Structure 1
């Protein structure tokens, strides 16, 4: 398991496209939206920063799904999956080895984007424990969705297309682009069924209201439930993924 995790992490550090999607593009979006739409949204500077920085952090964390899908499909089609299945390595060890490096990437992404917000826009951080635990919950659900998508998608293009739907659709409906209270009531009700909404609400509670871990337990619990459903789905459908692997 450790060897798989180290190999996957090494590949991620060498993937320039991943660094662009993970760090550079989110920063461009954050700067652009705060610069262009700050005044038109009519919010206080602190409220605007707390809406946009965590909002785009949550949205782009789900783009890790693309890298997960590509990694799994490449392993499946290159014969790597079949070779690993013939070893004593268990299904769970294989999954952990592939999964944990992506969790680390998302956590690093959150640290970088929030750090950028602090340095450039004086983003308040609030309780560090609540912020850290909530970030782990976000990384868990984003990578969990990616793991499920990776074993369900038959082709790389299908996985990427579905990732766009989840990331962009979740961002739009989950209140990441604009405060939920500005949206129609129907969309507000839909938002409450999305992990994107609960991640942002948790962050806003910590950053704006100085909330503690006890104040964001509901958001955290929902993120964990979503992530667990995705991970269980990935494990259940792994045999089908394995049957599709080239020997």
Structure 2
């Protein structure tokens, strides 16, 4: 990748940063809302974990990673908006005829959401320890080993939906449904050990299951990096799969509808 390519990607990243700084309210709401829900859910999760023989659990062991995983997938909309707004502003055609190649257009739109996802995970777990008494028995490095591919998976889900959806309305509905579906099947809303019998065979088919499995291994079981290599590897595989979907279906010439 040459200096010109990096410069074009950097220009797109700077534009996204300026737009984010200009209107940070959506990001603030997406960060504060999970923290509020954690406080409401913690007593419920405390009872569920203690019933599952985690006798010293205070509930944060499930509420913090659960809400972090659930709300991280709502960032899928942010990735979509970054592309669809260009069509709404009628600036996408200008980008197409610019020297920027499709790879650069896609990469430039992924950087800021990826950074936002990583920052949000850091805030959620930091606040979990400070506000909710989250005790991490394992390695914080292991949390990062799970968190980084999870964040990458989220942004690639968003780009895959950009490639597949014709309108922002389609993307928004599908993204929100996926976030809720992933939360339910993956064990973000309830400990994986108490998932309904019919859900358990389906759970490994969603990335949130592996994220929660990895986080639980570190938080509850005291696992280190070696213990989370499988969940992290599966999350990388999901990321690769969504990347392939993007490469197959994304076309710069496809016209997108911003508001209808």
Q: TM-score, normalised by structure 1?
A: 0.92
Shift of 1:6: 1.5
Quote the Cα distance in structure 1 between the aligned partners of 2:45 and 2:236.
Answer: 33
Which residue is equivalent to 1:204?
216
Contact kept, 8 Å, 2:66 with 2:188, in 1: the verdict is: yes
Larger % of helix: which? 1
CA distance in 1, matches of 2:184, 2:56: 22
Q: Secondary structure at the match of 2:118?
A: helix
Distance 2:22 2:180 in 1: 26
Distance 1:128 1:72 in 2: 34
The structure 2 residue matched to 1:117, chosen from 89, 109, 128, is: 128
- 4+ residue stretches of structure 1 with deviation over 6 A? none
What SS does the aligned partner of 1:189 have? coil
Looking at structure 2, the residues matched to 38 and 176 of structure 1 have their Cα atoms a distance apart, in angstroms, of: 11
The one of 41, 58, 64 equivalent to 2:48 is 41
Match of 2:173 in 1: 161
The match for 1:107 among 79, 96, 118 is 118
Cα drift, residue 158 of structure 1: 1.1
Partners of 1:158 and 1:74 in 2: CA distance: 14
Match of 2:5 in 1: none
Structure 2 gap segments, 5+ residues each: 1-8
TM-score w.r.t. structure 2 length? 0.88
Aligned mates of 1:40, 1:100 — CA distance in 2: 39
Whether 2:74 is the aligned partner of 1:63: answer: yes
Q: CA separation in 2, counterparts of 1:123 and 1:39?
A: 12
1:90 is matched with 101
Pair 1:47–1:227, CA change in 2 (3 A): farther
8 Å Cα contact 2:48-2:191 kept in structure 1: no
| Closer/same/farther in 2, CA of residues 140 and 47 from structure 1, 3 Å limit | farther
Separation of aligned partners in 1, 2:19 and 2:230? 36
1:24 alignment counterpart: 32
Equivalence for 1:230: 242
Give the equivalent residue in structure 2 for 1:2: 10
1:216–1:114 distance in 2 versus 1, CA, 3 Å: same
Number of positions where the alignment pairs a residue of Structure 1 with one of Structure 2 = 244
2:192 to 165, 175, 180: 180
- Of 91, 109, 114, which residue of structure 2 is paired with 1:80? 91
Kept after mapping to 2: 8 A contact 1:79/1:245 = no
SS in 1 for 2:250: helix
Residues 134/206 of structure 1: CA separation in 2 closer, same or farther (3 Å cut): same
**C-alpha separation between the residues in 2 aligned to 1:231 and 1:39?**
38
- Determine the C-alpha separation between the residues in 2 that align with 1:128 and 1:40: 26
C-alpha separation between the residues in 2 aligned to 1:182 and 1:61? 23
Contact persistence 2:42–2:60 (CA under 8 A): yes
Alpha carbons of structure 1 residues 40 and 206: separation in structure 2 relative to 1, 3 Å: closer
Partner of residue 192 from structure 1, selected from 197, 204, 212 = 204
